[in-house]
């Protein structure tokens, strides 16, 4: 009988590690109280913003406690686009969602955000960059599958370097909002000026327990679905935020990973204020 020595060493290593592991109760330093902005603005729509504040690492661990304790109400939020200034209202107070009642996003404009809440002042600025539409989009079955597949597209990246993109999809009649898949933001470092095909799987809402998010259909689009692709140009700062954002999400709990702080563009706070230069495509999955 042949015994691969690497398996023996592997077994010994795992045994040694597993045998010397125990639960510990740590007393971690409390983070300073900070407000988190999760906001965006896109052409033709109000600017939206979720406002919450941070909580301790061993603190709130349920949606109920977050919704009751960590949403920031009564904030004074103004958005200036260089032409007018609008003050946000709490559109859905239970979710901490604010929106501009009058202002709508306009491509090419820079949106300056000021948030005053809980004695803190936060500022940020973002620009809606010109949209770069996809050349074509289609649904393609996954090899060996007769009903499930991914959404494909062709993008012709402009010659200038530094373009950054984000991809979101809403299935009509099924999703309540556009959903970004994992690693939905990318830049043109490798594909500058190229015309190329690419695809994305289907994203899901965090914590979704929907049937097709928990069974074998997870990550796939299905024949018969109608999808709207929202393809966005975003700033480099926003791209870096989402790149670090996804890296941290994939790295949580990894003992060998480095600390992965996410650098946002909110002065005096946490989070991201992102301008989306949007283009839309509708794909019927057939």
Decide if residue 228 touches other proteins (CB under 8 A): no
Decide if residue 190 touches other proteins (CB under 8 A): yes
Candidate list 42, 240, 265, 278; residue touching other proteins; CB under 8 A: 240
CB proximity list for 59: less than 8 A, separation 6 or greater? none
Contact letters for other proteins, residues 5-24 (x by CB under 8 A): -----------xx-xxxxxx
Least separation in angstroms between residue 146's CB and other proteins is: 32
Phi, psi of 254 (to 5 degrees): -80, 115
Alpha-carbon 249 to chain mean position: 10
- Identify the helix (H) or strand (E) that includes residue 121: strand 120-127
The interface region with other proteins, picked from 72-80, 100-108, 111-119, 184-192 by CB under 8 A, is 184-192
What gap in Å lies between CA 142 and CA 156, rounded to an integer? 24
Least separation in angstroms between residue 15's CB and other proteins is: 12
Decide if residue 114 touches other proteins (CB under 8 A): no
What gap in Å lies between CA 281 and CA 134, rounded to an integer? 8
Tokens of 67: 């919704």
Indicate the residue among 4 and 25 with the shorter CB distance to other proteins: 25
Residue 60 has what DSSP assignment? Answer: -
Candidate list 170, 213, 260, 279; residue touching other proteins; CB under 8 A: 260
**How many CA atoms within 13 Å lie on the side-chain side of 236?**
5
Decide if residue 61 touches other proteins (CB under 8 A): yes
Nearest to 201 by CA among 240, 229, 163: 229
Residue 214: C-alpha distances to residues 26, 205, 218, 274, 275 (Å): 33, 12, 6, 30, 32
Candidate list 205, 210, 214, 282; residue touching other proteins; CB under 8 A: 205
Candidate list 121, 140, 194, 236; residue touching other proteins; CB under 8 A: 236
Least separation in angstroms between residue 136's CB and other proteins is: 26
Residues shown for the chain: 286
Indicate the residue among 137 and 240 with the shorter CB distance to other proteins: 240
What gap in Å lies between CA 121 and CA 282, rounded to an integer? 40
Candidate list 57, 76, 174, 210; residue touching other proteins; CB under 8 A: 57
Positions touching other proteins (CB under 8 A) are: 16-17, 19-26, 28-31, 34, 36, 38, 50, 52-64, 66, 70, 161-162, 180, 187-190, 192, 205-209, 236, 240, 243-245, 247-249, 252-263, 270-272
């Amino acid at each position: 009988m042949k015994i691969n020595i690497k398996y023996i060493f592997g077994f010994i290593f795992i045994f040694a590690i597993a045998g010397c592991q125990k639960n510990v109760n740590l007393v971690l330093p409390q983070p300073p109280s900070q407000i988190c902005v999760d906001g965006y603005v896109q052409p033709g729509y109000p600017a939206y913003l979720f406002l919450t504040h941070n909580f301790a690492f061993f603190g709130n661990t349920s949606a109920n406690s977050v919704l009751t304790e960590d949403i920031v109400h009564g904030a004074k939020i103004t958005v200036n686009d260089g032409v007018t200034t609008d003050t946000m209202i709490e559109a859905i107070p239970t979710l901490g969602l604010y929106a501009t009642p009058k202002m709508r996003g306009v491509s090419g404009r820079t949106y300056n955000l000021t948030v005053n809440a809980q004695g803190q002042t936060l500022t940020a600025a973002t620009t809606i960059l010109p949209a770069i539409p996809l050349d074509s989009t289609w649904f393609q079955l996954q090899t060996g599958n007769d009903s499930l597949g991914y959404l494909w597209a062709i993008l012709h990246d402009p010659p200038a370097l530094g373009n950054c993109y984000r991809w979101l999809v809403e299935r009509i009649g099924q999703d309540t909002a556009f959903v970004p898949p994992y690693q939905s933001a990318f830049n043109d470092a490798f594909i500058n000026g190229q015309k190329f095909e690419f695809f994305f799987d289907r994203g899901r809402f965090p914590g979704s327990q929907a049937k097709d998010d928990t069974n074998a259909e997870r990550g796939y689009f299905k024949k018969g679905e109608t999808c709207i692709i929202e393809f966005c140009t975003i700033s480099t700062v926003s791209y870096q935020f989402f790149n670090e954002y996804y890296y941290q999400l994939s790295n949580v709990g990894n003992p060998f990973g480095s600390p992965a702080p996410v650098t946002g563009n909110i002065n005096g706070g946490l989070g991201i204020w992102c301008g989306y230069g949007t283009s839309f495509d509708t794909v019927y999955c057939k």
